[in-house]
Amino acid sequence: VLRFTKIAEIQHFLRDTGTGQTIGFVPTMGALHAGHMSLIAMSRADCDLTVCSIFVNPKQFNDKNDLNRYPRTPEADAKMLEKAGCDILFTPSEGEIYPDSSETTFYFHGVDSILEGASRPGHFSGVALVVARLFEIVRPDKAYFGSKDYQQVVIVRMLVKQLSIPVDIIAAPIIREKDGLAMSSRNALLSRDERDAAALIPAVIQKARERARTSGIAAARKLVEQAFKGHPILRLDYYEVRDAETLAPLSSLDGKPAVSLLAVYCGKIRLIDNLSL
């Protein structure tokens, strides 16, 4: 894997060596796991050159503690990417990504202030800023995002449409641990007890899906609230069933594709998951 930290250098390489080759791009914040590797594998299957970026983007953290404790494992990440056959690793500094204090404002018609955006104000502005910047630098043909961050995929699709960025956005399935917990860099921050307790999250979202299908959305929400009520380690932030494309609220399940999304505090660590209905 070839490593770049400077924009000018990766651009020079991609515009020279990369001419005529299709570029697949996997943006990440590092502490890589099998979920990230599934994106790398998809890119390698589709594209001539695969670029992975690792940048812990301060602008998408509304919680300083969350940013400070976010896991960083640069050596292990580089090894994993090498083994996975990733061609290029881009690890820019903050000054490289944000050279001045100017900030573009995007409008996502409220989609950025519901669900994750309601719990994490400013999060999606930060995501949009860094994704737009990285797309400008890498100019990928295809970019790969995990459905684990479902709302992020919706926002990124809106972003590329608004800015007419010529990139295909590919959403990849959620990769899970044996007990069903969605893989996440933040899982590494859980204590043994928290990690064990977290297995309830995928179990509950599965059960709620069945309940939603048989008894409707309100019954599913009730099931989820009951499942976490009084739990010593887990605390429900939200559970919602939404239009799978727009994330607009749904009053019933007939017709349109729907998705259930939830966020749960596991001790101090906030975890998210989702399941199509």
**What positions carry a catalytic annotation?**
36
- Contact set for ligand AMP, span 38-57 (CB under 6 A): 38-39
Q: Decide: is 120 part of the binding site for ligand AMP (CB under 6 A).
A: no
In the complex, what is the shortest distance from the CB of residue 175 to ligand AMP, in angstroms, rounded to a whole number?
Answer: 4
Q: Could you give the C-alpha distances from 154 to 132, 159, 165, in angstroms and in order?
A: 14, 9, 15
Q: Decide: is 275 part of the binding site for ligand AMP (CB under 6 A).
A: no
In the complex, what is the shortest distance from the CB of residue 253 to ligand AMP, in angstroms, rounded to a whole number?
Answer: 25
Of the candidate residues 97, 132, 134, 175, the single one contacting ligand AMP (CB under 6 A): 175
Residues found in the chain: 277
**Nearest C-alpha neighbor of 250 from the set 271, 272, 273, 277:** 277
Q: Decide: is 29 part of the binding site for ligand AMP (CB under 6 A).
A: yes
Alpha helices by DSSP H, listed for the chain, are: 7-16, 34-46, 64-69, 74-84, 94-97, 116-119, 123-138, 150-162, 192-198, 200-215, 217-228
Q: Decide: is 24 part of the binding site for ligand AMP (CB under 6 A).
A: no
In the complex, what is the shortest distance from the CB of residue 115 to ligand AMP, in angstroms, rounded to a whole number?
Answer: 15
Phi and psi for 57 in degrees, rounded to 5?
Answer: -80, 105
Q: Decide: is 182 part of the binding site for ligand AMP (CB under 6 A).
A: yes
Q: Decide: is 198 part of the binding site for ligand AMP (CB under 6 A).
A: no
CA–CA gap between residue 267 and residue 107 (Å, rounded): 33
In the complex, what is the shortest distance from the CB of residue 84 to ligand AMP, in angstroms, rounded to a whole number?
Answer: 13
Q: Decide: is 81 part of the binding site for ligand AMP (CB under 6 A).
A: no
Q: Which is nearer to ligand AMP, 144 or 250 (CB)?
A: 144
In the complex, what is the shortest distance from the CB of residue 191 to ligand AMP, in angstroms, rounded to a whole number?
Answer: 20
Judge contact between 274 and 262, C-beta under 8 A.
yes
Q: Decide: is 174 part of the binding site for ligand AMP (CB under 6 A).
A: yes
Sheet of 258-266, strands arranged across: 234-243, 258-266, 269-276
Terminal Cα distance for the chain, rounded: 39
Judge contact between 116 and 56, C-beta under 8 A.
no
Q: Which is nearer to ligand AMP, 94 or 225 (CB)?
A: 94
Positions touching ligand AMP (CB under 6 A) are: 28-29, 35-36, 38-39, 145-146, 148-149, 172, 174-175, 182-185
